[in-house]
Structures are given as C-alpha cells and as structure tokens.
C-alpha cells in the first residue's frame, strides 16, 4: 500500500458524518447541478427586491403597457451596434382602426438604454433593510423581460418575489409539520404499545383523507376580509397542520427499528443511560434521515400552496405566488394571446425539480450502505 | 378457510374504524365553519326580500336538528353516511345523494382509470429499467419520472390547454358533448364520455405514473440483487422468464399495498384538474361547494365519499394480497 492511499484511507476513517455525506454527495453530478440551481434560485428569491427592476404589486405597474409582450434588450439594430443593450420605444394604439385591439408600433430610430444600479421603487430587503437601488432599469420608460399582466405588473419582478414567497411558505409549512411529526411520531415510537396503536390509528385515518380537498375545506373557512399577511400565515399553518402524518409515521418507524438495533443494546450493556443513548446514538442515526425527509417534503408544500392559490382559496394579491399569478390563465384570451403568463411556471418546475434531485442525492449520500451496494 | 374469514372480518372492522375516525374529523371541520345551515338558508331568503328574525333562525335550526348536542348530530350523520344519505345541501337545498349521484361514480372511474394507466406503464418500464444497466435509459427515465413529480397535474393540464388552443385552436374541455350532457345513460352517452375522458385520465395518470415508476423500480432493484435470483440465474433461467417468475412476484406485494395511497394522490389532483378542464363531476362540485358558497354539508359528504373509496380500496388490496401471496396467506392460516 502506498503512502497517499494510506492517508486517504486515514481521512476516510476519521471523517465525521457530515464530511462523509458531503463527499458522497459531491460525486453525484445530477444532485450537484440541482444544488447549484437551488442555491441560485434561493439567492434570487432572497434578493428579489434588488434583482427585480420594479415593485411587484400595483405600485410598480406600467399603466401604458398592459398585457405587454416580453421585451428582450438587444445590442444591434439596423442603425448599428452598441455595447450597452437597448430597447426601441414602442407606441401602442387601440382604436377603431385597429379593431379595438392593442397594436404595437416599434419606433426603430429611438433607442432606450439599459442602465445598471438605478434608483427605483423603494423596498425593504429581508423585510427590514430599506433601499431603492435596483440591479437594472431603463434610462426612460420600462423594461419587461417577461412581459406584463393585465394590470401592467412586471411578470419578471413578480416571478422573483413569488419564488421567495414559495420558499417562505415551504420552510414554514415544513417546520410546522416537522415539529408536529417529531412530537407525535416520537411519542408513538418511544412509548410503543397501546399509545402507539391509538396514535397509529388516528395517523392512518388522517393519512387516508385526500389532503388537497382537506386543505380546500379548511382554507374555505378563512374569512375573505382578512389581510393578505394574515392569510399568508394561516395558509402556511394549515399546510403544516395537514402535512404531518407521513413524516410522523417515518419518525415512529425509524425510532422503533433503531431502538432494537444491536448497537443500542451494546450501549445499554455498557451501562449507558437512556439519555446518553438517545443523544449519542439514536439522534445521530436519525438526523440525516430527517433532513432528507424535510427536503423531500418541501416541494409538496410549495405545490399545495400553488394549487390552493390557483383555485382562489390560498394567497391573494398583493402577496405574489405562482398560484396567484396563474389565477386567470385558463381564459381563452390568455391562452391565445398572452402566453408569456406561463413563463413563471418554468421557474417553479426548476425549483421543485431542484428540490427533488437534491433530496434524492442527499438520501443516497446519507445512506452509509449506498457505496457497498454499488 | 375459517382463518381467512376471520382475517377478512378483522380487516373490515379496521376499515370501519378508520371511516368512523375520518367521519369525526370531517364532521368537526364542518362544524368549524362560521355560521350554520340555518343561518345560511335564511340569509338566502333574506336576499329574496322576506324579512327574517332570530326566532326564524331558531325554528329553522330546530327543523334541521341543529339544536341537538354535537355527539347526537355526529352519530346521526354517520348513520346516514353509511346508508349513502347525507341530508340536504345547505345552499342548493337539494338532496346531496341525488346531486352527487352519477358525478361521484364518474370521477371514481376516471381516477381508477388513471391508476390503471399508471401501473400499465409503470410495471413493465420499471422492471426493464431496474434490470437494465444502460445508464442512458436509466437517467432519462429518472428525469421523466422526476418531471412527473415536479410538474403537478394542474400545470400539465394548463400546458395541454395552452398547446391545444394555440396549435389546434380547440379547447379540450368538458366530459360530454353538449347533446349528451343531460341525456339519460345509453351506449352512445358512454361512448361520448369515453371520447372525452381520455384527457383527464391521462393528465391524472401522469404524476401517478411517475410515482408508480419509482416504486416499481426501487422494489425491483432491491429484489434483483437477492440471492434467490442469482440461484435461479445459475440454474439457467434468464431474461424475461427470470424477471417475471422470481423478483417481479416478490415485488408485487408492496405494489398492491400502495394502491390505496396512489388513489389518494390522484384524488388530490382531481378538483383542480377538473377546474381547468371544466369537467362536471364530483371534484368540481367540491370546488364549487367550498370556493363559492361554503356549503359545508356538500363538502363534508364529498370528502367522506372520497376517503371511503380509498378505505374500500385498501381493504380490497389487503384481501387480494392474502389471496395472491402465499406468504401472507400462510401467516394468516397459522
């Protein structure tokens, strides 16, 4: 055996749990790509107010460009090229001559240039840092990368804010159901016997009720006059309250199997106290699974919120979420004429896919037997 | 045989207990709605111009039996629910059983159709992908099945609508052609339904297929690595014969077991898909009951019925598993 491989082996055997998981995770290309996408999305959600050129609510609307098509800044036109990307000025007309439809006329001789770090609508970064500098904007007029909706709100800005909303809903919802699951599953798994049977029965009953109809039933009780922020918290709470059974079951099953493992018996024979066993042996055997479960259940919370808001029972304006943005897209008018309403969907598919892939990669990485099996 | 009957009876009792717990949850939810049926009915009458007093509300409450204690009302609701009688809808003032009738059965068949489709695709493809060592096949299947998970059915339904309106100029919506909408059941009407039902079945089956594919693949790759498969291969079995006769039969049990939860997942998507495709069955009725009018009586009945069909399917799969799997059968007969 050569020296370098000896040190590699040494590093392997002395590595901590986290280092081992990270080392295994790094080997999975799909999971790494997904993790990168996820980090980018999280960051863009976090810095949405700075990255988006306009306020996502009615305050930032462009009233001269309702239902406007996406505008992509370009570098060249028939008058030559410029290093700074620009747009042409557009005049829109709706009259008898255009059959009362908006018709755009591009004025190819007038350029509007893209500016960076411009002052614009004021916002609060992370909810408390005030600012009004946006990454990009125009020297005159507006730029709408993904077009605008029927109120003239910039879809690009709304998308970034919606990503942030979804991340918030997902995190809060998962945390709530996680706490419930840990408590309920923990009690069932720890005590076993009669308590376990009763809890299992109730859990199974809750699990058989289809959750989205159940969400809808609970969400329908929310008085419509509540403010958007209250609604947001209540919806998240509901998502958490309905989501616990699956997680609770896993916690319980895991506790039950681990409790009877040989290493626990060995520790008991060595005279370790129950608290020591739980702290040093059971919990570490457990955390990786829990983290994986949390990551995996995350997209379902996000998707449930989207579905709820889509049918009008979830979040409402001025809170931005994908469901809110998609509320009116089933109209034939939108389907035929304003397809850019669907651009945010791509972001959400990317977000959910990223979570699923990362969760899957984590699960493989956290499984100590995954290497020997291959 | 006696043992088997006892097993079936235990399972049936367990299913009933689950239903009772579910009914308690659903009924308590219905109670939580601000305002009850009496108030809602009289509020409706008020909009029609007749003046109402508190005494009217009390009288209406007494007529509907809403002045009884919670437990009494729950037991009578439960007793009615098992006979298929859910009382009258709060807003529409029609017998719920009559209102739901066909609609519930149509939605159930659509969902079962989606489930069937999902496994028709997932079982062969899952087995092939578990057995194959071709990385391209496996990776592309993985992406497809993740896409099925990530793209919720209602987004898929939206996309199908988008594509069909943009490219075919046709919105593929509804369950019946106009001339058959209110017609009595006949062969032609069933054929017309089948002509329209393929799209909801396909859309609902989409993510169910993705889930099923993952289950089948995981179970199969676990079984394929086991020693009895190696032993069978050593005896000269190979290819399809080997896969179907040994690991596939072992993997069947958990798959049958998970059918109930797959149906649950499909029910989750039903109302929203129904909304997009403007179907007129139980899912959209549920939406209407909840989103527009807060009709707790109707909503409770629909949720209870959906859950009851899942519980029934779970019971059926338990029995089926005992019949087809000798290991389960033997453990019962012991």
**DSSP string computed for A16-72:** -HHHHHHHHHHT-HHHHHHHHHHHHHHHHHHTHHHHSSS-SSGGG--TT-TTPPP--
> Among A73-87, A195-209, B207-221, B229-243, which stretch is predicted with the lowest mean pLDDT?
A73-87
Task: Identify all chain A residues contacting B272, using CB atoms and an 8 Å cutoff.
Answer: 212, 307, 310-311
> Using the beta-carbon criterion (under 8 Å), do B307 and A209 form an inter-chain contact?
yes
At B293, the pLDDT band (50, 70, 90 cuts) reads low
At A369, the pLDDT band (50, 70, 90 cuts) reads low
> C-alpha dihedral over A179, A185, A189, A195, to 10 degrees?
120
Quote the CA–CA distance of B316 and B259 in Å, as a whole number.
10
Looking at residue A65, its pLDDT comes to: 74
Looking at residue B183, its pLDDT comes to: 64
Interstrand relation of A80-93 and A103-125 (parallel, antiparallel or unpaired): antiparallel
Task: Identify all chain B residues contacting A223, using CB atoms and an 8 Å cutoff.
Answer: 34
> Using the beta-carbon criterion (under 8 Å), do B303 and A210 form an inter-chain contact?
yes
At A276, the pLDDT band (50, 70, 90 cuts) reads confident
Please name the member of A208, A352, A373 whose beta carbon is closest to the beta carbon of B18: A208
Task: Identify all chain A residues contacting B271, using CB atoms and an 8 Å cutoff.
Answer: 212-213, 216, 311
Q: What is the ipTM of this complex?
A: 0.75
Quote the CA–CA distance of B212 and B259 in Å, as a whole number.
9
Is there a contact between A263 and A239 (Cβ–Cβ < 8 Å)? no
Which residue is closest to A352 within chain B, CA to CA? B150
Looking at residue B175, its pLDDT comes to: 63
Please name the member of B146, B294, B307 whose beta carbon is closest to the beta carbon of A208: B307
Looking at residue A372, its pLDDT comes to: 47
Which residue is closest to A314 within chain B, CA to CA? B291
Chain B nearest-CA distance from A209, in A, is 5
Nearest Cα to Cα of residue A186 among A279, A131, A255: A255
> Using the beta-carbon criterion (under 8 Å), do A349 and B151 form an inter-chain contact?
yes
Residues A249-273: what's their mean pLDDT?
82
> Using the beta-carbon criterion (under 8 Å), do A213 and B139 form an inter-chain contact?
no
Chain A nearest-CA distance from B14, in A, is 9
If you search the block for the tokens 């005049």, which residue do you land on? Answer: A91
At A98, the pLDDT band (50, 70, 90 cuts) reads low
Question: Is the pLDDT score of A86 beyond 50?
Answer: yes
> Among B28-42, B127-141, B177-191, B212-226, which stretch is predicted with the lowest mean pLDDT?
B177-191
Which one is predicted more confidently, A364 or A369?
Answer: A364
Task: Identify all chain A residues contacting B139, using CB atoms and an 8 Å cutoff.
Answer: 30
> Among A200-204, A226-230, B187-191, which stretch is predicted with the lowest mean pLDDT?
B187-191
- When the pLDDT of each residue in chain B is averaged and rounded to a whole number, the result is 78
Tens digits of residue pLDDT in A293-343: 788 788 888 888 888 888 777 777 777 888 888 777 767 677 777 778 888
- When the pLDDT of each residue in chain A is averaged and rounded to a whole number, the result is 78
Task: Identify all chain A residues contacting B307, using CB atoms and an 8 Å cutoff.
Answer: 208-210
Quote the CA–CA distance of A211 and B48 in Å, as a whole number.
37
Looking at residue A374, its pLDDT comes to: 41
Nearest Cα to Cα of residue A15 among A372, A365, A373: A365
- The three-class DSSP label of residue A110 is strand
Residues B107-125: what's their mean pLDDT?
88
Residues B272-282: what's their mean pLDDT?
73
Which residue is closest to A298 within chain B, CA to CA? B150
Tens digits of residue pLDDT in B21-66: 888 888 887 777 666 677 776 776 777 666 777 777 777 777 777 7
Number of A to B CB contacts under 8 A, please give it.
131
Looking at residue B85, its pLDDT comes to: 77
Chain A nearest-CA distance from B187, in A, is 32
Chain A nearest-CA distance from B34, in A, is 7
Q: Could you tell me the two tokens for B282?
A: 């139980």
At A1, the pLDDT band (50, 70, 90 cuts) reads very low
Quote the CA–CA distance of B161 and B174 in Å, as a whole number.
12
Looking at residue B181, its pLDDT comes to: 62
Chain B nearest-CA distance from A300, in A, is 9
Percent of chain B with pLDDT over 90: 1
> Among A42-46, A180-184, B183-187, B225-229, which stretch is predicted with the lowest mean pLDDT?
B183-187
């Amino acid at each position: 055996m050569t020296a370098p491989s000896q040190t590699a082996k040494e590093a392997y055997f002395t590595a901590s749990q986290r280092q081992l998981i990270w080392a295994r995770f790094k080997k999975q290309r799909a999971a790494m790509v997904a993790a990168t996408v996820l980090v980018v999305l999280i960051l863009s959600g976090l810095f949405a107010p700075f990255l988006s050129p306009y306020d996502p609510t009615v305050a930032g609307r462009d009233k001269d460009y309702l239902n406007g098509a996406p505008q992509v800044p370009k570098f060249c036109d028939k008058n030559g090229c410029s290093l700074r990307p620009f747009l042409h000025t557009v005049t829109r007309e709706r009259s008898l001559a255009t059959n009362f439809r908006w018709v755009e006329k591009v004025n190819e001789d007038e350029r509007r240039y893209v500016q960076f770090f411009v002052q614009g609508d004021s916002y609060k970064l992370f909810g408390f840092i005030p600012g009004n500098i946006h990454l990009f904007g125009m020297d005159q007029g507006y730029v709408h990368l993904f077009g605008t909706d029927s109120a003239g709100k910039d879809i690009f800005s709304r998308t970034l804010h919606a990503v942030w909303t979804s991340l918030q809903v997902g995190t809060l919802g998962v945390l709530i159901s996680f706490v419930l699951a840990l408590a309920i599953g923990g009690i069932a798994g720890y005590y076993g016997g009669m308590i376990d049977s009763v809890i299992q029965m109730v859990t199974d009953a809750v699990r058989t009720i289809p959750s989205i109809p159940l969400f809808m039933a609970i969400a329908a009780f929310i008085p419509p006059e509540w403010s958007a922020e209250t609604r947001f918290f209540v919806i998240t709470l509901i998502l958490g309250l309905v989501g616990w059974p699956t997680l609770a079951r896993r916690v319980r099953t895991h506790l039950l199997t681990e409790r009877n493992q040989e290493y626990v018996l060995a520790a008991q024979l060595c005279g370790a106290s129950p608290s020591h066993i739980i702290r040093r042996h059971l919990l570490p055997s457990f955390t990786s699974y829990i983290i994986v479960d949390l990551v995996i259940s995350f997209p379902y919370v996000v998707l449930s919120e989207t579905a709820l808001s889509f049918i009008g029972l979830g979040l409402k304006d001025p809170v931005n979420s994908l469901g809110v943005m998609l509320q009116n897209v089933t109209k034939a008018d939108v389907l035929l004429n304003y397809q850019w309403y669907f651009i945010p969907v791509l972001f959400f598919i990317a977000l959910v896919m990223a979570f699923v892939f990362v969760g899957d990669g984590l699960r493989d990485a956290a499984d100590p037997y995954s290497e020997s099996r291959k | 045989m006696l043992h088997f009957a006892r097993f079936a009876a235990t399972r049936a009792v367990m299913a009933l207990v689950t239903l009772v717990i579910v009914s308690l949850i659903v009924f308590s939810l219905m109670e939580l709605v601000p305002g009850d049926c009496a108030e809602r009915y009289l509020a409706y009458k008020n909009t029609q111009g007749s003046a109402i007093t508190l005494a009217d509300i009390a009288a209406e409450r007494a007529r509907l039996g809403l002045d009884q204690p919670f437990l009494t009302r729950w037991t009578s609701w439960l007793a009615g629910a098992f006979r298929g009688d859910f009382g009258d809808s709060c807003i529409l003032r029609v017998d719920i059983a009559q209102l739901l009738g066909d609609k519930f059965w149509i939605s159930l068949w659509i969902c079962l159709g989606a489930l069937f489709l999902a496994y028709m695709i997932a079982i062969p493809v899952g087995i092939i992908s578990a057995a194959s060592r071709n990385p391209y096949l496996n990776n592309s299947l993985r992406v497809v099945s993740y896409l099925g998970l990530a793209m919720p059915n209602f987004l898929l339904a939206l996309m199908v609508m988008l594509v069909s309106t943009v490219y075919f100029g046709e919105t593929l919506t509804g369950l019946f052609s106009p001339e058959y909408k209110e017609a009595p059941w006949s062969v032609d009407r069933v054929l017309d339904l089948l002509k329209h039902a393929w799209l909801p079945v396909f859309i609902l089956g989409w993510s169910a297929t993705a889930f099923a594919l993952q289950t089948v693949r995981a179970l199969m790759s676990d079984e394929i690595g086991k020693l009895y498969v190696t032993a069978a291969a050593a005896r000269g079995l190979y290819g399809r014969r080997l896969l179907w006769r040994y690991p596939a039969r072992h993997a069947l049990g958990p798959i049958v077991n998970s059918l109930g939860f797959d149906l649950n997942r499909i029910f989750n998507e039903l109302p929203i898909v129904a909304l997009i495709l403007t179907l007129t069955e139980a899912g959209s009725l549920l939406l209407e009951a909840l989103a527009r009018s807060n009709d707790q009586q109707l909503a409770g009945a629909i949720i209870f019925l959906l859950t009851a069909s899942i519980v029934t399917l779970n019971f059926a799969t338990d029995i089926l598993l005992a019949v087809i799997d000798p290991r389960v059968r033997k453990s019962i007969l012991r």
